[in-house]
Amino acid sequence: MGNCNTNDKSQSEVNSQIQRQIEADKRASESVIKLLLLGAGESGKSTVLKQMKIIHDNGFSNDDLMSKRNLVYGNVIQAMFFILSGMHKLKLPFHSQACQEHCKLIHAIMQKHAETEPLQEHIVQALRELWQDEGVKAAMTRRAEFYMPDCAQHFLDSLDRIADQNFVPTTQDILYLRVATLGVIEICFQIKDKTWRVFDVGGQRSQRKKWIHCFDDVRALIFITAMSEFDQVLMEDGTTNRLQESLQLFRQVCNNKYFVETSIILFLNKKDLFAEKMNQGRSLRIAFKEFNGPDTYEASSKYIERKFYISNEVPNKSIYCHHTCATDTKQVQFVLDSTLDVILSTKLKGCGLY
Protein backbone atom coordinates (compact mmCIF):
# COMPACT_ATOMS: atom_id res chain seq x y z
CA MET A 1 0.00 0.00 0.00
CA GLY A 2 2.83 2.33 0.87
CA ASN A 3 4.36 1.85 -2.54
CA CYS A 4 1.05 2.57 -4.24
CA ASN A 5 0.62 5.82 -2.33
CA THR A 6 4.15 6.85 -3.20
CA ASN A 7 3.59 6.07 -6.87
CA ASP A 8 0.27 7.93 -6.89
CA LYS A 9 1.93 10.95 -5.30
CA SER A 10 4.80 10.83 -7.78
CA GLN A 11 2.41 10.57 -10.73
CA SER A 12 0.37 13.46 -9.35
CA GLU A 13 3.48 15.62 -9.20
CA VAL A 14 4.36 14.70 -12.79
CA ASN A 15 0.82 15.55 -13.91
CA SER A 16 1.02 18.89 -12.12
CA GLN A 17 4.34 19.68 -13.78
CA ILE A 18 2.91 18.80 -17.18
CA GLN A 19 -0.16 20.96 -16.55
CA ARG A 20 2.01 23.88 -15.43
CA GLN A 21 4.13 23.51 -18.57
CA ILE A 22 1.02 23.41 -20.76
CA GLU A 23 -0.27 26.59 -19.13
CA ALA A 24 3.14 28.28 -19.49
CA ASP A 25 3.32 27.29 -23.16
CA LYS A 26 -0.19 28.63 -23.69
CA ARG A 27 0.72 31.96 -22.08
CA ALA A 28 3.87 32.15 -24.20
CA SER A 29 1.89 31.32 -27.31
CA GLU A 30 -0.71 33.97 -26.55
CA SER A 31 2.02 36.59 -26.19
CA VAL A 32 3.26 35.91 -29.74
CA ILE A 33 1.33 37.23 -32.72
CA LYS A 34 2.19 35.86 -36.15
CA LEU A 35 1.48 38.15 -39.08
CA LEU A 36 1.84 37.16 -42.72
CA LEU A 37 2.56 39.53 -45.61
CA LEU A 38 1.20 38.23 -48.90
CA GLY A 39 0.86 39.60 -52.39
CA ALA A 40 2.00 39.20 -55.96
CA GLY A 41 5.55 40.06 -57.01
CA GLU A 42 6.49 43.76 -56.79
CA SER A 43 3.32 44.67 -54.91
CA GLY A 44 5.32 46.36 -52.15
CA LYS A 45 5.39 43.60 -49.51
CA SER A 46 9.09 43.87 -48.82
CA THR A 47 8.83 47.66 -48.62
CA VAL A 48 6.13 47.33 -45.95
CA LEU A 49 8.37 44.90 -44.05
CA LYS A 50 11.23 47.43 -44.25
CA GLN A 51 8.88 50.10 -42.90
CA MET A 52 8.04 47.85 -39.95
CA LYS A 53 11.76 47.52 -39.25
CA ILE A 54 12.19 51.30 -39.45
CA ILE A 55 9.19 52.05 -37.24
CA HIS A 56 9.31 49.19 -34.72
CA ASP A 57 12.72 47.51 -34.93
CA ASN A 58 15.31 50.33 -34.69
CA GLY A 59 15.63 50.84 -38.43
CA PHE A 60 18.84 50.27 -40.39
CA SER A 61 22.32 50.69 -38.94
CA ASN A 62 25.12 52.30 -40.92
CA ASP A 63 26.50 48.81 -41.57
CA ASP A 64 23.09 47.76 -42.89
CA LEU A 65 23.04 50.73 -45.25
CA MET A 66 26.60 50.19 -46.47
CA SER A 67 25.89 46.52 -47.15
CA LYS A 68 23.23 47.56 -49.68
CA ARG A 69 25.50 49.71 -51.86
CA ASN A 70 26.12 47.03 -54.44
CA LEU A 71 22.38 46.33 -54.69
CA VAL A 72 21.72 50.02 -55.33
CA TYR A 73 24.34 50.05 -58.10
CA GLY A 74 22.70 46.99 -59.60
CA ASN A 75 19.25 48.60 -59.44
CA VAL A 76 20.56 51.65 -61.31
CA ILE A 77 21.91 49.50 -64.16
CA GLN A 78 18.78 47.34 -64.24
CA ALA A 79 16.50 50.39 -64.30
CA MET A 80 18.24 51.80 -67.37
CA PHE A 81 18.31 48.36 -69.01
CA PHE A 82 14.52 48.00 -68.73
CA ILE A 83 13.98 51.52 -70.09
CA LEU A 84 16.23 50.73 -73.06
CA SER A 85 14.32 47.49 -73.61
CA GLY A 86 11.12 49.53 -73.58
CA MET A 87 12.55 51.91 -76.17
CA HIS A 88 13.34 48.95 -78.40
CA LYS A 89 9.83 47.57 -77.99
CA LEU A 90 8.27 50.96 -78.82
CA LYS A 91 10.75 51.56 -81.66
CA LEU A 92 11.86 54.87 -80.18
CA PRO A 93 15.18 56.22 -81.54
CA PHE A 94 18.02 57.79 -79.56
CA HIS A 95 18.60 61.50 -80.01
CA SER A 96 22.38 61.07 -80.22
CA GLN A 97 24.73 58.54 -81.81
CA ALA A 98 26.70 58.30 -78.56
CA CYS A 99 23.66 56.92 -76.75
CA GLN A 100 23.53 53.98 -79.13
CA GLU A 101 27.01 53.01 -77.93
CA HIS A 102 25.97 53.63 -74.31
CA CYS A 103 23.04 51.26 -74.87
CA LYS A 104 25.45 48.51 -75.98
CA LEU A 105 27.49 49.06 -72.83
CA ILE A 106 24.47 48.66 -70.53
CA HIS A 107 23.43 45.49 -72.35
CA ALA A 108 26.96 44.09 -72.05
CA ILE A 109 27.01 44.76 -68.30
CA MET A 110 23.66 43.01 -67.85
CA GLN A 111 24.70 40.01 -69.95
CA LYS A 112 27.97 39.50 -68.09
CA HIS A 113 26.54 40.32 -64.65
CA ALA A 114 29.65 42.46 -64.39
CA GLU A 115 30.74 43.89 -61.05
CA THR A 116 29.31 47.39 -60.65
CA GLU A 117 30.75 48.47 -57.31
CA PRO A 118 31.70 51.20 -57.40
CA LEU A 119 30.13 52.55 -60.59
CA GLN A 120 33.04 53.31 -62.89
CA GLU A 121 33.20 56.79 -64.39
CA HIS A 122 32.56 55.69 -67.98
CA ILE A 123 29.45 53.81 -66.81
CA VAL A 124 28.23 56.85 -64.88
CA GLN A 125 28.76 59.07 -67.91
CA ALA A 126 26.87 56.62 -70.12
CA LEU A 127 23.98 56.49 -67.66
CA ARG A 128 23.96 60.28 -67.33
CA GLU A 129 23.81 60.88 -71.09
CA LEU A 130 21.18 58.19 -71.57
CA TRP A 131 19.01 59.65 -68.81
CA GLN A 132 19.17 63.05 -70.53
CA ASP A 133 18.47 61.68 -74.01
CA GLU A 134 15.19 62.75 -75.64
CA GLY A 135 14.48 59.18 -76.74
CA VAL A 136 14.74 57.94 -73.16
CA LYS A 137 12.54 60.80 -72.00
CA ALA A 138 9.96 59.83 -74.63
CA ALA A 139 10.03 56.26 -73.32
CA MET A 140 9.44 57.49 -69.78
CA THR A 141 6.23 59.21 -70.87
CA ARG A 142 5.05 55.82 -72.18
CA ARG A 143 6.36 53.67 -69.34
CA ALA A 144 2.97 52.04 -68.80
CA GLU A 145 3.52 50.26 -72.13
CA PHE A 146 6.53 48.25 -70.97
CA TYR A 147 7.98 46.78 -67.79
CA MET A 148 9.93 49.25 -65.67
CA PRO A 149 10.66 48.86 -61.95
CA ASP A 150 9.17 51.55 -59.71
CA CYS A 151 12.63 52.39 -58.38
CA ALA A 152 13.89 53.58 -61.79
CA GLN A 153 12.95 57.25 -61.50
CA HIS A 154 14.24 57.53 -57.93
CA PHE A 155 17.65 55.98 -58.59
CA LEU A 156 18.32 57.58 -61.98
CA ASP A 157 17.34 61.01 -60.65
CA SER A 158 19.88 60.37 -57.84
CA LEU A 159 22.67 59.22 -60.16
CA ASP A 160 25.23 61.88 -59.18
CA ARG A 161 24.73 61.16 -55.47
CA ILE A 162 24.97 57.40 -56.00
CA ALA A 163 28.08 57.75 -58.18
CA ASP A 164 29.97 59.59 -55.43
CA GLN A 165 32.85 57.48 -54.07
CA ASN A 166 31.64 58.16 -50.51
CA PHE A 167 28.06 57.17 -51.28
CA VAL A 168 26.09 55.75 -48.36
CA PRO A 169 22.55 54.59 -49.19
CA THR A 170 19.78 56.47 -47.41
CA THR A 171 16.81 54.86 -45.73
CA GLN A 172 14.72 56.06 -48.67
CA ASP A 173 17.10 54.27 -51.04
CA ILE A 174 16.56 51.07 -49.06
CA LEU A 175 12.79 51.49 -49.32
CA TYR A 176 13.02 51.85 -53.10
CA LEU A 177 15.54 49.02 -53.49
CA ARG A 178 14.16 46.19 -55.60
CA VAL A 179 15.29 42.67 -54.72
CA ALA A 180 12.94 39.75 -55.38
CA THR A 181 11.96 37.90 -52.20
CA LEU A 182 13.00 34.24 -52.40
CA GLY A 183 11.72 32.00 -49.64
CA VAL A 184 10.62 33.57 -46.36
CA ILE A 185 11.99 36.64 -44.56
CA GLU A 186 11.07 37.25 -40.92
CA ILE A 187 11.42 40.15 -38.50
CA CYS A 188 10.43 40.27 -34.82
CA PHE A 189 9.57 43.24 -32.63
CA GLN A 190 7.80 44.05 -29.36
CA ILE A 191 4.65 46.15 -29.05
CA LYS A 192 2.28 46.33 -26.06
CA ASP A 193 3.81 43.33 -24.27
CA LYS A 194 3.40 41.22 -27.37
CA THR A 195 6.02 39.67 -29.61
CA TRP A 196 5.18 40.19 -33.26
CA ARG A 197 6.62 37.75 -35.79
CA VAL A 198 6.12 39.07 -39.31
CA PHE A 199 6.77 36.90 -42.36
CA ASP A 200 7.30 38.16 -45.92
CA VAL A 201 7.09 35.41 -48.51
CA GLY A 202 8.03 35.33 -52.18
CA GLY A 203 5.33 36.74 -54.43
CA GLN A 204 6.44 35.39 -57.78
CA ARG A 205 4.39 32.48 -59.09
CA SER A 206 7.23 30.00 -58.57
CA GLN A 207 7.49 30.95 -54.89
CA ARG A 208 3.84 30.82 -53.83
CA LYS A 209 3.32 27.07 -53.64
CA LYS A 210 6.10 26.88 -51.06
CA TRP A 211 4.33 28.85 -48.35
CA ILE A 212 0.57 28.62 -48.33
CA HIS A 213 0.34 25.51 -46.11
CA CYS A 214 3.04 26.63 -43.66
CA PHE A 215 1.16 29.40 -41.88
CA ASP A 216 -2.13 27.92 -40.72
CA ASP A 217 -1.55 29.36 -37.23
CA VAL A 218 -1.22 33.04 -38.18
CA ARG A 219 -3.72 35.36 -36.50
CA ALA A 220 -3.96 37.80 -39.40
CA LEU A 221 -2.47 38.51 -42.77
CA ILE A 222 -1.80 41.67 -44.72
CA PHE A 223 -2.46 41.24 -48.41
CA ILE A 224 -0.76 43.87 -50.55
CA THR A 225 -1.72 44.72 -54.11
CA ALA A 226 -0.31 47.45 -56.33
CA MET A 227 -3.45 49.08 -57.69
CA SER A 228 -1.25 51.20 -59.98
CA GLU A 229 -0.51 48.05 -61.99
CA PHE A 230 -3.96 47.93 -63.59
CA ASP A 231 -2.33 48.76 -66.95
CA GLN A 232 0.74 46.50 -66.63
CA VAL A 233 1.49 42.85 -67.37
CA LEU A 234 3.49 40.26 -65.47
CA MET A 235 7.21 40.09 -66.08
CA GLU A 236 6.93 36.28 -65.84
CA ASP A 237 4.77 35.84 -68.96
CA GLY A 238 4.43 39.28 -70.55
CA THR A 239 0.66 38.94 -71.07
CA THR A 240 -1.26 38.53 -67.79
CA ASN A 241 -2.64 41.76 -66.33
CA ARG A 242 -0.91 42.41 -63.00
CA LEU A 243 -3.98 43.62 -61.13
CA GLN A 244 -6.04 40.68 -62.40
CA GLU A 245 -3.28 38.34 -61.24
CA SER A 246 -3.26 39.96 -57.81
CA LEU A 247 -7.05 39.69 -57.54
CA GLN A 248 -6.88 36.01 -58.43
CA LEU A 249 -4.20 35.41 -55.78
CA PHE A 250 -6.30 37.28 -53.19
CA ARG A 251 -9.29 35.07 -54.04
CA GLN A 252 -7.18 31.94 -53.54
CA VAL A 253 -5.78 33.16 -50.22
CA CYS A 254 -9.02 34.59 -48.86
CA ASN A 255 -10.97 31.39 -49.45
CA ASN A 256 -8.18 28.95 -48.63
CA LYS A 257 -8.99 26.41 -45.93
CA TYR A 258 -5.92 27.43 -43.94
CA PHE A 259 -7.11 31.05 -43.65
CA VAL A 260 -10.88 30.67 -43.18
CA GLU A 261 -10.76 32.18 -39.67
CA THR A 262 -7.91 34.59 -40.39
CA SER A 263 -8.61 38.32 -40.56
CA ILE A 264 -7.29 40.03 -43.68
CA ILE A 265 -6.00 43.57 -43.96
CA LEU A 266 -5.95 44.66 -47.60
CA PHE A 267 -3.40 47.29 -48.62
CA LEU A 268 -4.23 48.90 -51.97
CA ASN A 269 -0.67 50.05 -52.45
CA LYS A 270 1.12 52.53 -54.73
CA LYS A 271 -1.77 54.95 -54.50
CA ASP A 272 0.53 57.80 -55.58
CA LEU A 273 1.36 56.07 -58.88
CA PHE A 274 -2.30 55.14 -59.32
CA ALA A 275 -3.35 58.79 -58.88
CA GLU A 276 -0.66 59.87 -61.36
CA LYS A 277 -2.02 57.49 -63.97
CA MET A 278 -5.58 58.66 -63.38
CA ASN A 279 -4.44 62.26 -63.88
CA GLN A 280 -2.79 61.19 -67.15
CA GLY A 281 -6.10 59.86 -68.46
CA ARG A 282 -5.42 56.14 -68.07
CA SER A 283 -8.60 54.07 -67.69
CA LEU A 284 -9.35 51.21 -65.33
CA ARG A 285 -11.13 49.56 -68.28
CA ILE A 286 -7.67 48.32 -69.32
CA ALA A 287 -8.00 45.77 -66.49
CA PHE A 288 -11.78 45.62 -66.09
CA LYS A 289 -13.65 46.12 -69.35
CA GLU A 290 -16.99 46.18 -67.52
CA PHE A 291 -16.03 49.27 -65.48
CA ASN A 292 -18.33 52.12 -66.54
CA GLY A 293 -17.52 54.81 -64.00
CA PRO A 294 -15.52 58.01 -64.48
CA ASP A 295 -11.75 57.72 -64.81
CA THR A 296 -11.08 59.36 -61.45
CA TYR A 297 -9.09 58.19 -58.44
CA GLU A 298 -12.15 57.93 -56.22
CA ALA A 299 -14.40 56.02 -58.63
CA SER A 300 -11.66 53.71 -59.91
CA SER A 301 -10.21 52.88 -56.48
CA LYS A 302 -13.68 52.20 -55.07
CA TYR A 303 -14.30 49.77 -57.92
CA ILE A 304 -11.02 47.96 -57.20
CA GLU A 305 -11.95 47.73 -53.51
CA ARG A 306 -15.31 46.20 -54.41
CA LYS A 307 -13.70 43.63 -56.73
CA PHE A 308 -11.54 42.43 -53.84
CA TYR A 309 -14.37 42.43 -51.29
CA ILE A 310 -16.74 40.37 -53.44
CA SER A 311 -14.06 37.77 -54.16
CA ASN A 312 -14.40 36.65 -50.52
CA GLU A 313 -16.71 33.63 -50.18
CA VAL A 314 -16.27 33.06 -46.43
CA PRO A 315 -19.25 34.28 -44.35
CA ASN A 316 -18.48 36.84 -41.62
CA LYS A 317 -14.83 37.12 -42.62
CA SER A 318 -13.23 40.38 -41.48
CA ILE A 319 -11.52 42.34 -44.26
CA TYR A 320 -10.11 45.82 -43.62
CA CYS A 321 -8.90 48.01 -46.48
CA HIS A 322 -6.32 50.83 -46.57
CA HIS A 323 -4.92 52.87 -49.46
CA THR A 324 -1.15 53.06 -49.02
CA CYS A 325 2.09 54.41 -50.40
CA ALA A 326 4.65 51.99 -48.96
CA THR A 327 7.61 54.35 -49.47
CA ASP A 328 5.96 57.08 -47.33
CA THR A 329 7.04 56.28 -43.77
CA LYS A 330 4.65 58.69 -42.02
CA GLN A 331 1.63 57.43 -43.92
CA VAL A 332 2.63 53.79 -43.45
CA GLN A 333 3.17 54.33 -39.71
CA PHE A 334 -0.38 55.68 -39.36
CA VAL A 335 -1.82 52.73 -41.29
CA LEU A 336 0.32 50.17 -39.45
CA ASP A 337 -0.68 51.55 -36.05
CA SER A 338 -4.32 51.11 -37.01
CA THR A 339 -3.65 47.69 -38.51
CA LEU A 340 -1.75 46.33 -35.51
CA ASP A 341 -4.47 47.59 -33.16
CA VAL A 342 -7.07 45.72 -35.22
CA ILE A 343 -4.98 42.55 -35.19
CA LEU A 344 -4.36 42.81 -31.45
CA SER A 345 -8.04 43.32 -30.64
CA THR A 346 -8.97 40.42 -32.92
CA LYS A 347 -6.48 38.13 -31.15
CA LEU A 348 -7.70 39.18 -27.71
CA LYS A 349 -11.29 38.56 -28.72
CA GLY A 350 -10.28 35.12 -29.97
CA CYS A 351 -8.72 34.38 -26.58
CA GLY A 352 -11.76 35.69 -24.72
CA LEU A 353 -9.70 38.53 -23.24
CA TYR A 354 -11.27 41.54 -24.94
Q: Confirm whether 200 is a catalytic residue.
A: yes
Residue 346 to residue 91: CA distance in whole angstroms: 54
Backbone phi, psi, residue 199, to 5°? -115, 130
Which among 133, 150, 173, 200 is annotated as catalytic?
A: 200
Which among 57, 128, 145, 178 is annotated as catalytic?
A: 178
Residue 136: which of 149, 127, 144 has the closest Cα?
Answer: 127
Q: Confirm whether 204 is a catalytic residue.
A: yes
Q: Confirm whether 42 is a catalytic residue.
A: yes
Say what the alpha-carbon torsion angle 160, 94, 277, 286 is, to the nearest 10 degrees. Answer: -140
Residue numbering of the annotated binding site? 42-47, 175-181, 200-204, 269-272, 326
The separation between CA 35 and the C-alpha centre of its own chain, rounded to angstroms, equals 14
Which among 47, 78, 232, 324 is annotated as catalytic?
A: 47
Torsion-angle region of 225 (φ positive above 0: left; ψ -120 to 50: alpha; else: beta): beta
Q: Confirm whether 120 is a catalytic residue.
A: no
Q: Confirm whether 47 is a catalytic residue.
A: yes
Which among 204, 207, 240, 244 is annotated as catalytic?
A: 204
Residue numbering of the annotated binding site for GTP? 42-47, 175-181, 200-204, 269-272, 326
Residue numbering of the annotated binding site for Mg(2+)? 46, 181
255 burial class (0-12, 13-18, 19+ CB within 10 angstroms)? middle
3-state secondary structure 289-300: CCCCCCCCHHHH
| Active site residues per annotation | 42, 47, 178, 200, 204
